A and B are shown apart, each in its own frame.
Chain A
C-alpha cells in the first residue's frame, strides 16, 4: 500500500498539534515538551510504527501515553521525552506481541499500573517481565496474574 507524502504530512501535523495541547494538561505535573521534543517524538512515532510493521490512523497513541503517564511519580522533566519515546516503542511492540488482543486503553492501563507499581519506574522491568507475561496470557487466553497489577 503506497500513499503519498501528503497523507503522512497531515498525520504528522495532527500529531504535533495533539502534543502541543497535552502541554497545557501536563504543566501541572511539572512536565512540558518543547517544539523540538514534540517533533522528535512524532518522528519516532513513525519510526516505531515502521519497525513494528504497524500503521496508525487518526489520533495516535502518543497523546494517550502522555495523559496516562504524566501523573506517575517516576516521571521527571529531565527524562520526560526519553521515557515517552521508549513507552511508545514498547507500546507498539507489545500490541504485536499480544496479537492485538489488548485494546490500546487496556495495554496503557497495564503499563501505567506496572510502571508505577512493581516496576517502580524501571522500563526494563516493565518490558522484559510484566509485559511479556501479559501478552503471553493475552495470546493464550489466560487471565492476567492479579499480582502483576499490584
Chain B
C-alpha cells in the first residue's frame, strides 16, 4: 500500500507509517468519509457518486494535513485522536485563515495599481465570490472561483482551498505595493509598449515594471522614470554582455537590494525576496537577449 497515494498530503520522507498504522488510518478515514457523506446528503442517501466521495475525502485530507502541520503532531500520535474532533479543530484553523484572507482582500482592493487590467479586476471580484461560496465543512480544498490574473511567481499547485487564496492575496499585495510606487503615466507608458492592449490582456503587470526598474538600477540611475532609452540599452548591453551567468546572478542580487532601498522596500524582506525571485526568473531571457545583442524585448522604451 502506497501511503502517499492513500493520503497524498503526508510527506513520506518525514512520516512513514507502519502497515498496521496505515490500516488504522484507512478505517478512521473511511469512517470520517462516511460521516461527511451523511452530512453531504443530509441522511437522504446511503450512496454517493465516487467523484463526490473523492472530493469529500480530499477535503478531509486537506483539513487533517493543515491540522498536522499547524500543531506539528506526528501522524502516529494523531492516529489515537478522535478524527471528528480533529476535523472540527481544522475547521477553526481554516476559519482563522478566512478572516486573515478577508483583510488581505480588502487591502488588495484598496491598493490597486494606477493602471487598469480587466483580468485583475475580474479575479478580485471572483475572490469576493470565493468567500461566499467556499464550503469549509465539506469541500475545504476547493477554490470555487476563477483566478485568471497571473502573478509574477506562480502559486504552488500543492496549495488548496483557503491556503491557495491566502498565498495568492499575499503575493498580489506585494505586487500591488510595488506598482503603487510608480506614477500612472509611467506604468501606462511602459505597459503600452509591452503589450498595446494591456488593459484587456492576460498579462502580469508587475514583471515588466520590475525588469525596467532594475534596468535603471543597473544603470545606477535610480528606479524612476521607468523609460530606458535606446542609448541606455546600448550601455546595458556593453555592461552586461561579457558577464557569466554567475556574475549576472550576483549583479542581480546587488541591483535588487539597491532597488529595494530606493523604493523603501529594504525593511520588507518578503517584498525584496519576491523582487529577487521575479528578476531571477527573467535572467535566462536577459542572457539570451544579450547574446542576440537585442534588449528590445527585455527593457521597454517609449
Residues of A within 8 A of B (CB): 1-4, 6-7, 10, 49, 53-61, 64, 92, 95-96, 100, 103-105
Which B residues touch A92, using CB under 8 A? 47
Minimal Cβ-Cβ distance residue in A for B24: A6
What are 18 residue pairs bridging A and B, where the CB atoms are less than 8 Å apart in the complex? A1-B50, A3-B6, A4-B22, A4-B23, A7-B26, A10-B27, A53-B51, A54-B50, A55-B47, A55-B53, A56-B47, A57-B33, A57-B34, A57-B47, A58-B46, A96-B49, A100-B49, A105-B44
- Chain A residues contacting B182 (CB-CB under 8 Å) are none
8 more CB-based (< 8 A) A-B contacts, given A55-B53, A56-B46: A1-B54, A4-B1, A4-B23, A7-B30, A60-B46, A100-B45, A103-B41, A103-B45
Check B38 for interface membership: any CB of A closer than 8 A.
yes
Q: For window 21-73 of chain B, which residues contact chain A by CB distance below 8 Å? A: 22-23, 26-27, 29-30, 33-34, 37-38, 41, 44-51, 53-54, 57
Q: Report the minimal beta-carbon distance from B260 to chain A, rounded to whole angstroms.
A: 47
Knowing A1-B57, A6-B23 are in contact, say whether A61-B46 is a contact too (CB < 8 A): yes
Report yes or no: B46 in contact with A59, Cβ–Cβ below 8 A.
Answer: yes
Tell me, rounded to whole Å, the shortest Cβ–Cβ distance linking A106 to chain B: 8
Residues of chain B contacted by A49 (CB below 8 angstroms)? 47
Q: Are the CB atoms of B44 and A103 closer together than 8 Å? A: yes
CA A7 to CA B172, docked complex, whole Å: 45
B47 contacts across to A, CB distance below 8 A:
49, 54-57, 60-61, 92, 95, 104
